Amino acid sequence: MSDETLFPGHVIGPTYYFYTSFEEHLTLLLTGGAGYIGSVIARHCIDAGYDIIILDDLSEGNARSLPQGVPFYHADYGDKETLVAIFSKHRVDAVIHLAASSSVPHSVIEPELYYRNNVCKTITLLESMASHGVKKMLFSSSAAVYGEPRYLPVDENHPAIPINPYGKSKLFIEDILRDMAAAADFQFIAFRFFCAAGATQSNGEARPNETHLIPLVADCALGKRERMIVYGDTFPTSDGTGVRDYIHVADIAQAHLLALAKINVLSNTAYNIGTDSGYTTLEVIKLAAKVIGRNIPYIVSTQRPGDPAELVASSGKIRAELGWKPAYDLEQIILSAWQWRKNPRY
């Protein structure tokens, strides 16, 4: 487990022990490694003893999140010349592919951008990997591949019928990875993230145009926003607002370390990363008000296109096969995000 502590008030979860089945030390390329999730994964990989290289165009990432001394390429991950330079200079053993356009509402408005940025550029990355003999990838997929759940919690056998271009782009990439694994000596693990949230002392959400619920709630409590906007209150849920499964970003990083250790024996598959528990938007706002100790006003607006009513993960497969379990609950997630938004490091 990373030796980086979370914010005061957190109950530190169980210690994870890692082994590597590779004979040689691994060097990892992280696309999107300066982003919110990528920056936390990067520090956990360093703490676990891996060498890392970060490739990020900083459109959503932040240069100040980068660990000192790590090779950094400020470029688009779909840039062929940059990829050739990286793979020619460094002996890369595996790629952790996090870079993507990732807003569901925006994907409905500009779908071509999501297919170009997510699918086409990933193909370019995979072509460059193949030409340089790099045969392992951990891919950041999304719960959006499932669409409207037919049952809850959603397990990996649930039909994948995405209802927005973002989810479709992630599913296309998963299909490409499966085809590559069937055709050649290639191994991948796809992680279907549910709602990543929370912060560590070093890294948190710092995007210029924040859209995620929990950091926006913290900003509202800080007076940086006049009120929260709740998008829709007529979903078939307990209070009419959408239900989501929130997972601490440090727990996501732990899943990647476990996968790196076992990719040789558990490759070419997908895992949910979630907690088996869902919360409505209003439940999150009310719990945040309790944890933070401040009133959080909100108004109800119209439902956004492409938003499913509920998304809650079944984490049985990742628990059984990777030995993973979440260490942080929603209250701890909110507290860490609040501490970060009060005093961000960047």
Q: DSSP state, 154? A: B
Going 79 to 85 to 87 to 91, the CA torsion angle's sign is: negative
In sequence order, what are the beta bridge partners of 229?
Answer: 299
pLDDT category at 207 given cuts 50, 70, 90 is confident
Domain edges within the chain: 27-197+245-274
Q: Which pLDDT belongs to residue 24?
A: 52
SS3 content of the chain, % helix, strand, coil (to 5): 35, 15, 45
**pLDDT for 89 beyond 90:** yes
Q: Choose the catalytic residue: 166, 271, 279, 328.
A: 166
**Backbone torsions φ then ψ of 54, nearest 5 degrees:** -115, 130
Is residue 252 within 8 A of residue 320, CB to CB? The reply is no
* pTM: predicted TM-score of the whole model, two decimal places: 0.93
Q: Which pLDDT belongs to residue 208?
A: 80
**pLDDT for 274 beyond 90:** yes
16 is catalytic: no
- Segment 14-18 shows an average pLDDT of 36
Q: Which pLDDT belongs to residue 2?
A: 46
CATH number of 27-197+245-274: 3.40.50.720
- Segment 185-201 shows an average pLDDT of 97
Q: Which pLDDT belongs to residue 10?
A: 40
Mean pLDDT of the chain: 93
Q: Which pLDDT belongs to residue 192?
A: 98
Q: Which pLDDT belongs to residue 25?
A: 76
Q: Residue type at 45? A: C
- Among 7-11, 62-66, 259-263, the range scoring the smallest mean pLDDT is 7-11
